[in-house]
Chain A
Amino acid sequence: MRIGVITFPGTCDDVDARLAAGKVGEAVALWHRDPDLHGVDAVVVPGGFSYGDYLRAGAIARFSPAMGSVVDFAREGGLVLGICNGFQILCEAGLLPGALLPNTNLRFTCRQVDLEVVRTDTPFTSTCEVGERLSIPAKHTSGRFVGDVPEDQVVLRYAAGENFNGSQDDIAGVVNEGRNVLGLMPHPEHAVDVLTGGSADGLKLFEGMARVAVA
């Protein structure tokens, strides 16, 4: 099981994503300028501030050579997980519905939040149960999800009282129609080890991804 993690200039959470991927398989560093995905079984588009995010978050990164290949990979059914800035990039690339607007408080906010698993019929949540709560940190300035998204594509919601960014219908994570691309604002890669994550709940998403990618 080889999981690729793309690094753009300005990406911050790539090391964390590789550490998390390394717990369920082999982490492979991918470079934004390189269109070759090196035969990985799944791709993580990690968090950070690609190209500084001085334009709209993710607006420039979607044009990188690596993202061109990720779009093709996803259209062929390859598993893609977009976290935070990665979620924003996948929306910009048209792989996921909706958009991420500035938080209602207009501030960068970092908080450990509880998520509720809404659906388990995606590879990523296949090891969870419906209604299960995952404690995962979220940290972003533009995480307010808005969009016309079918109910069956909403996979994760903020639990009651946890939606600090003002996301529509408490939506925290969505999949594409094919259910092989997941984007979420909270950071599962920062919750894979109780020593540093406060919980290891985020590991479940990586385990689900690895289980299906190998199958």
Chain B
Amino acid sequence: MSPSPEAQSIPGLEQAVALGLTREEYALVCDELGGREPNEVELAMFSLLWSEHCAYKHSKKLLRTLPTEGPAVVMGPGENAGAVDVGDGWAVAFKVESHNHPSAVEPFQGAATGVGGILRDIFALGARPIAVLDSLRFGEPTSERSRYLLDRAVAGIGHYGNSIGVPTVGGEVSFEGPYETNCLVNAMAIGLARTDDMVRSAAAGVGNVLVLFGASTGRDGIGGASVLASAELDAEDDSKRPSVQVGDPFEESKLLECSLELLDRGLLVALQDLGAAGLTSAASEMAAKGGVGLDLDVARVPLREADMAPFEIMVSESQERMLCVCEPAQVEAVLAVCEKWEVHGTAVGEVTGTGRFRVLRDGAVVGDMPVSGLVDDCPLYDLAPERPAAPLYPAPPAVLGREADVREALTALLSSPNLASRRPLFEQYDPIVQSRTVRRPEEADAAVLWLHDMGEGAPAIATSIDGNGRKVAADPYWGTIGNALECAANLACVGAQPLGTTNNLNFGNPEKPHIAWQLSEAVRGLGDACRALEAPIVGGNVSLYNEGADGPIYPTPVVGMVGVLPDPRRAGRLGFAAEGDAIALVGWGAEAAPSLAASELAKLRGEALPDGLPALDLDRVVATLDAVREAVRADELRSAHDIAEGGLLVAVAEACLAGGIGAALDLGDSDDVWTRLFGERPGGFVVSGPREALDRLGERAPVELVGTVGGDALEVAVGSLGERWALAELREAHGALAPLFP
């Protein structure tokens, strides 16, 4: 069947190349169409669905090596989001996604629509969104552009999350030179659903009706996925502003309630959100999963601008839209629910048994393609990884001289952009709406959310998102393992057992051998870590081509984890709590020494990245995590905090500041005071509690008693060195980011 005469003219090979297809891919598209060249609609649809963003053509083979199965997995990769079982017939759905290039071009709307998009992925499953987290990377705040991007991205995240009534409960931000021209904005959302009520996105039932509901369709965001997300940024980025979508959280709030009511009343066969590549992607994915065909009439799509061409309607990335499939008899009821929520709903097409995606305009065929060709036949590429012979990244500028003493170093670290308090950022977010938040930001290492919907004895979930790019740049394999362990350690500190993992792989151009090597090694590390932690990957996203004029970003695999804790009243805290409590280091023994390699101190000193990080004994780290988690769950500890960026002394200072109480440490002799105080490695904790409780913990993991909680200063003795910092002094240093948000 060939398109009718009404179809547009044939754009041809040059246009296809301009849209990102290779010559070979164009030839394959022609094959899919039975030997003829694609018309304008077909070329637009193929070029988007065969883009890196939609087809994962450089990463799919690697992703297949990740562990995706486990006893708690309810829904794995391939659906709108993954989901894990939290007991009593309930499931928690979650996923992280990036909106990096839109945010680099227009940070407020880029970040806002990043949140909007990931929320739609969650409620498209029938899960009510209960939390948002974000992971942000910018250049150093000494740069005016970085400060602007940070300020506007934070405002955009808050604008969307606050307005829609989903708490922003956690996240992370770090500042490094390689993100200067290519910032990262990753957003993670979590939802709660009854497992039996969750809906998949596979279209089914020949003759069933496609209903598009939500915002009307405009020219915003045309080509967002192919223009922005699948190419490197360059100096002409301002001209790409029209490719960035504009968000409307009020519309999404109505869309959310409308979608959940439609599902609750059993009116839908399938539901899918419209994200990258708009109707093209949503409709063809639904058809491909169901093994069916679709007829979709663009003349029935409500438009913001009357004169839109069919291809524009098919690829528009206008936000706040959903596509559902329902039985013909239910259309009236579906539209009535839409009317109740003041959401525009329109029947735009129907399910066919042909296996073809036909785009119509007023009944005339303007595009006719095999569904499987669009969704499944994009060629996948093997990477050509090559370990770089020379360092890829310049050394950061030194801001702390070698002559600085320990006293200066601690305040410099606490006031450095990567370690200073995030309060000026997270105060712009609502972390408490929905009455679930048991631990707010800076109260504990992980956010804790009570699932009160589950009734008497309801458990809580804990969640964390982490992704240190500098460590991954130093060692993609061990650095990525460190990111996953950091998440799991944060969960252990509140007493949570990981159930599943999501990830966003932010990397440079995978067609370059050194980036391909970073990506391959990172995925290998992620797989090994998730297997060791028994926290399978249930979903995620890949963002490639993150390069600017100065080169690639630090390779940044962002890891998000969700775990469960049975008793929310026993959720751990990070701050020291009681005068006289003993302080201990857990899992920090001499057999696996910390290191200054790629540490925050090394960064402040302007040291170049090392070539590799020390290896870890994964089984030993996991055993330590288990011991800490069990102690928290048993209510034995009064505080638990993992030793992360900045090392032991920063972790202790943070526990003092969070608890508003001092500490006295005696760290004994040390032949390397700097490494002892500021060295880093995964799997170590600072805990406090009654002496007997710490002794009991010592039966399960290496425990080193190092001091006592109390007073209004942090005092440290190590070797011949003795230092003292008043809490007020530490607090002032820790508040260094406040001037960024006047």
A contacts, CB < 8 Å to B: 9-13, 15-16, 19, 48-49, 51-54, 105, 107-111, 137, 139, 187, 189-190, 193, 195-198
Contact = CB atoms under 8 A, between A and B. Distances in A.
B249 A52 contact: yes
B431 interface: yes
Nearest to A20: B435
B569 A195 contact: yes
8 contacts: A9-B254, A9-B341, A12-B163, A51-B250, A107-B155, A108-B428, A111-B427, A190-B433
Contact of A52 (B165, B250, B341, B452): B250
B450 interface: yes
Contact of A190 (B253, B429, B435, B742): B435
A9 B450 contact: no
B400 to A, nearest CB: 31
Nearest to A107: B428
A12 B450 CA distance: 18
Contacts of A54: 250
A195 to B, nearest CB: 6
A72 B168 CA distance: 37
B731 interface: no
Nearest to A16: B435
B741 A107 contact: yes
Given A109-B428, A197-B432, 18 more contacts: A9-B250, A9-B253, A10-B253, A11-B165, A12-B430, A16-B433, A51-B250, A52-B251, A105-B742, A108-B428, A108-B430, A110-B429, A137-B432, A139-B432, A195-B568, A196-B432, A196-B438, A196-B450
A12 B164 contact: yes
A195 B459 CA distance: 12
Contacts of A198: 440
B163 A52 contact: yes
B37 interface: no
Contacts of B437: 196
Interface residues of B, number: 34
B568 A110 contact: no
Contacts of B362: none
Given A190-B435, A195-B438, A49 B163 contact: yes
B354 interface: no
Contacts of B249: 49, 52
Q: Max chain A CB contacts within 10 Å: which of B250, B341, B440?
A: B250
B162 A108 contact: yes
B158 interface: yes
A176 to B, nearest CB: 27
B143 interface: no
B431 A10 contact: no
A137 B440 CA distance: 12
A110 B253 contact: no
Among all A-B residue pairs, the 6 with the closest Cβ atoms: A52-B250, A12-B165, A49-B163, A16-B435, A139-B430, A10-B250
A110 B438 contact: no
A64 B356 CA distance: 47
Nearest to B441: A110
B31 interface: no
B15 interface: no
B447 to A, nearest CB: 12
Contacts of B431: 110
Nearest to A139: B430
Nearest to B460: A195
A198 B441 CA distance: 13
Given A9-B250, A195-B568, A195-B569, A19 B435 contact: yes
Contact of B165 (A48, A51, A195): A48
Contacts of B341: 9
B666 interface: no
A47 to B, nearest CB: 8
Contacts of A105: 741-742
Contact of B435 (A15, A108, A110): A15
Contacts of A19: 435, 452
Interface in B339-356: 341-342
Contacts of B32: none
A189 B432 CA distance: 11
Contact of B250 (A15, A49, A107, A190): A49
B327 interface: no
A190 B742 CA distance: 27
Contacts of B741: 105, 107
B261 to A, nearest CB: 13
A172 B80 CA distance: 43
B735 to A, nearest CB: 15
A147 to B, nearest CB: 25
A105 B158 CA distance: 15
A166 to B, nearest CB: 14
Contacts of B428: 107-110
A140 B165 CA distance: 12
Nearest to B569: A195
B610 to A, nearest CB: 40
Nearest to B164: A12
B58 interface: no
Nearest to A191: B432
Nearest to B162: A108
A190 to B, nearest CB: 5
Contacts of B164: 12
A160 to B, nearest CB: 19
Interface string B649-690: 000000000000000000000000000000000000000000
Contacts of B436: 196
A191 to B, nearest CB: 9
Nearest to A164: B427
